[in-house]
Structure 1
Amino acid sequence: MMHKQRASWARFGGWAVSLAGATLVLTACGSSKPEPAKLESFQPSARVSVVWQQRVDSTSADLTPVLIDNTVALTSDRGEVVAWDAMTGAERWRAALGASISAGVGTDGRRAAVVSEANELLVLDQGKLLWRQPLPGRVTTPPLVAGERVFIMMLDRQVRAYDAVDGRWLWQYQRPGGDTLALATRGILAAFRDTLLVGQGSRLVGLDPTRGTVRFDVNVGTPRGTNEVERLADLVGPLARADDEACVRTFQLSVACLELNRGSVRWSRPQSGIRGVAADERMVVGADGADRLSAWTMENGQLQWRVDRFARRGLSTPVMWGSHVAAADDQGYLHVLSLEDGRTVARYELDAPLAGAPLVHRDMLLVATRKGSMLALRLN
């Protein structure tokens, strides 16, 4: 039975915090923001070029694009949802929902789902509204559309499943004894083979997507601190997949890699950060809270390199781009580094900071900016 969820939001170090049935105001320490590091001088050894570019209305930092097969989709703040061919940029369909959006789009290539600021789940079929359902609370994690189902995660980390065809509510899950605090930002909601992966505080839970029953429940990081705010340790999306392994950030605590077949942690390294990480079969890369980038080997978590020349520039979630790693900063610069040693090989100026994490399709980098630009980039 659906019920109304009472929640309030506060800012903590530039991040929003949600509380169920309580009110709290948090203030970041310090009276002024530290100056970001100046752009480095370097000799480019590669060049970033634009393959194709498209536009939507302005897009907030949380409305990240999604890529499935050869389709990339993006939504704007005002409810414009567009899908393009990822290789050519040709428009596949477009919809105007006329509603402000709180969570980015999710799609299986045909159906697409978004959640409005009015807490309504809207599902499209090739750009045409198929059905809509009211939700009992706010959503900031993009829906997942897979296996003829639509999965959503609310701010209190409750997970709900709906039939993708007719919108029937199927089941809901929330880990017993869950945390009272949660980040009001993107959590973990992803698919691995026939298992649904969801973040529940500092734990990664594998669910049976047909029934919502638990297949595994693994503790990714142990929260520390003397109060609820200091112990806040949500898993931060997106999850970085590398075949049968995945790596994830635990907010202000650590970076860890897991063996998904076993449902166990392979290794964990302390790093106080706020953004997701990048991973492939070779390396894992993540930035700490001061934007110092570190790279570890996927096999055992051994530190390979660390750079601090992007300190306090507000780096996005990074992404592996062939033999490179790419991340953009809050000034709208895209930085491309060698995965081998962390040296900068290229830089590209965007029209605005990124909306969500960048994506990779074949040899192209797909990025969406907060001005609504959708670009496919290639490294030459």
Structure 2
Amino acid sequence: MITLWQSRTARSTSSSRNRALTAGLGLAALMLLAGCASKGESAYTPKELTSFNETSTLESEWRQSVGDGLGRARYPIAPAREGNTVFAADADGIVMAMNADTGERSWRIDLETPISSALTAIAGDVYLGTRNGEIIALSQRDGSVRWRSRVSSEVLAAPQANQQLLLVQSVDGQIIALDRQSGEERWAYTSSQPALTLRGTGTPMVIDPVTFAGLANGRLVTLDNRSGQPLWEMQVATPRGTSEVERLVDLAGQPTLSPDGRLFVTSYNGRLVAVEATRGGLLWESNLSSRSTPVLIGNTLFVTTDESVVVALDASSGQELWRNSDLEDRWLTSPAFVDGRLVFGDFEGYVHLLDATSGEIVGRTRVHRSGISVPPVTDGNTIHVLANNGRLETLEVRP
């Protein structure tokens, strides 16, 4: 299996969806893949920022330096917050806990192993995955290691927890359930992997009885958390085209579950679908390609497409409510929601605020020119943003 990393400096094919691909294979391999995917090439050209009517400001409250950042490979090590503590890490193994109001550091540890996944903070613990296929549980109180557990391969997706289990999706297509208290493996589910995949995996959506997981082969599977057996599966995206690049259909985001049992799933080179969570019945579909996790606020679903176009849809019908193309090709992060607004980071290190009702840009600031590639973490009107160089900045939205 060959995987492709994302890059903001790579040349693209004439299909804008293929702009998301990079070379973890070297320049010659990338040129070969691009040639297979398209008859011609066009330069990667993100939109320039333009003036807008600023009705919201982003005021810096504090900043901290978290190790050396996300590394040259831009590992997706998004921070996490629980209560009044923010947890963040770098690619070399540094993990830190900070007071969310002041930025004062509570503790800092060096795991001496390369971290590769986003962090998950829940019920007094912090969970993370490593490049060598290890899952580590830390105490939120002092950063001490509670347990370590080995899985089948590198972990890029944040581990996801219910009351008893920690669910891990590794890059080789396995989904592993670990006991949250001990790290002992309870079961594992293995999926078939295509010859070529995006560099990354979907993140499972976990509730007490079941786990919803998107796979690199374009399928969505629902697993019984008691045994790991599949309850139902559906093909969200179907491979098309003649080359392996054109046939990429990864479900690289996390499924979003509504309180009334609707599941919203994005796919690369495929579609956005809404399905019944209990049986997998299709409710509606939209022809949007996305590697990002959608955000559901009330009955509105917000999606960042692979071209960094922001789209709002009616969650009941899939009808498009608005779209904003002002930030096209700026490699936006997945959206987060803050006090009536959507917030994104981009490849030049800007943080953008969009009004959730109209889709208009209402605020902007720059955190660091190294860029932002992991989603912001929000709480009330507070935003925590981790730049690629390790700068963690906390912003307050005003008014």
Pair 34,240 (structure 1): closer, same or farther in 2 beyond 3 Å: same
- Partner residue of 2:97? 83
- Partner residue of 1:359? 377
| Paired AA for residue 286 in structure 2 | R
1:59 to 69, 76, 98: 69
C-alpha contact (below 8 Å) 2:289/2:306 kept by paired residues: yes
Q: What is the CA-CA distance between 1:78 and the residue it aligns to?
A: 1.0
Pair 239,365 (structure 1): closer, same or farther in 2 beyond 3 Å: farther
- Partner residue of 1:33? 43
| Paired AA for residue 52 in structure 2 | F
The answer to whether structure 1 residue 9 and structure 2 residue 3 are counterparts is yes
Aligned length: 369
Q: How does 1:100-249 map to 2 (within 5 A)?
A: 100-126=114-140, 127-175=143-191, 177=192, 179-200=194-215, 201-243=217-259, 244-249=261-266
C-alpha contact (below 8 Å) 1:282/1:297 kept by paired residues: yes
- Distance in 1 (CA, whole Å) between partners of 2:48 and 2:320 is 25
- Distance in 2 (CA, whole Å) between partners of 1:258 and 1:239 is 10
TM-score (normalised: structure 2): 0.82
- Partner residue of 1:3? none
- Partner residue of 2:321? 304
- Distance in 2 (CA, whole Å) between partners of 1:193 and 1:377 is 34
TM-score (normalised: structure 1): 0.86
Pair 16,43 (structure 1): closer, same or farther in 2 beyond 3 Å: closer
Pair 192,313 (structure 1): closer, same or farther in 2 beyond 3 Å: same
Pair 121,166 (structure 1): closer, same or farther in 2 beyond 3 Å: same
- Distance in 2 (CA, whole Å) between partners of 1:59 and 1:148 is 32
Pair 185,10 (structure 1): closer, same or farther in 2 beyond 3 Å: closer
C-alpha contact (below 8 Å) 1:9/1:184 kept by paired residues: yes
Pair 239,370 (structure 1): closer, same or farther in 2 beyond 3 Å: farther
Q: What is the CA-CA distance between 1:128 and the residue it aligns to?
A: 0.9
What SS class does the counterpart of residue 139 from structure 1 fall into? coil
- Distance in 2 (CA, whole Å) between partners of 1:264 and 1:195 is 16
Q: What is the CA-CA distance between 1:331 and the residue it aligns to?
A: 0.9
| Paired AA for residue 357 in structure 2 | E
C-alpha contact (below 8 Å) 2:377/2:385 kept by paired residues: yes
- Distance in 2 (CA, whole Å) between partners of 1:325 and 1:71 is 22
| Paired AA for residue 309 in structure 1 | D
Q: How does 1:286-297 map to 2 (within 5 A)?
A: 286-297=303-314
C-alpha contact (below 8 Å) 2:272/2:288 kept by paired residues: yes
C-alpha contact (below 8 Å) 2:87/2:98 kept by paired residues: yes
C-alpha contact (below 8 Å) 1:10/1:17 kept by paired residues: yes
162-171 or 299-308, which deviates more: 162-171
The answer to whether structure 1 residue 377 and structure 2 residue 387 are counterparts is no
Aligned identity (percent) is 25
What SS class does the counterpart of residue 235 from structure 1 fall into? coil
Name the structure where strand makes up a greater proportion of residues. 1
Name the structure where helix makes up a greater proportion of residues. 2
- Distance in 1 (CA, whole Å) between partners of 2:336 and 2:176 is 29
- Distance in 2 (CA, whole Å) between partners of 1:99 and 1:112 is 16
- Distance in 1 (CA, whole Å) between partners of 2:186 and 2:86 is 28
C-alpha contact (below 8 Å) 1:282/1:299 kept by paired residues: yes
What SS class does the counterpart of residue 233 from structure 1 fall into? coil
- Partner residue of 1:347? 364
- Distance in 1 (CA, whole Å) between partners of 2:256 and 2:394 is 20
The answer to whether structure 1 residue 329 and structure 2 residue 350 are counterparts is no
Unpaired segments of 5 or more residues in structure 1? 1-6
C-alpha contact (below 8 Å) 1:16/1:185 kept by paired residues: no
1:94 to 99, 108, 131: 108
What SS class does the counterpart of residue 358 from structure 2 fall into? coil
92-101 or 293-302, which deviates more: 92-101
Q: What is the CA-CA distance between 1:69 and the residue it aligns to?
A: 5.2
Pair 359,245 (structure 1): closer, same or farther in 2 beyond 3 Å: farther
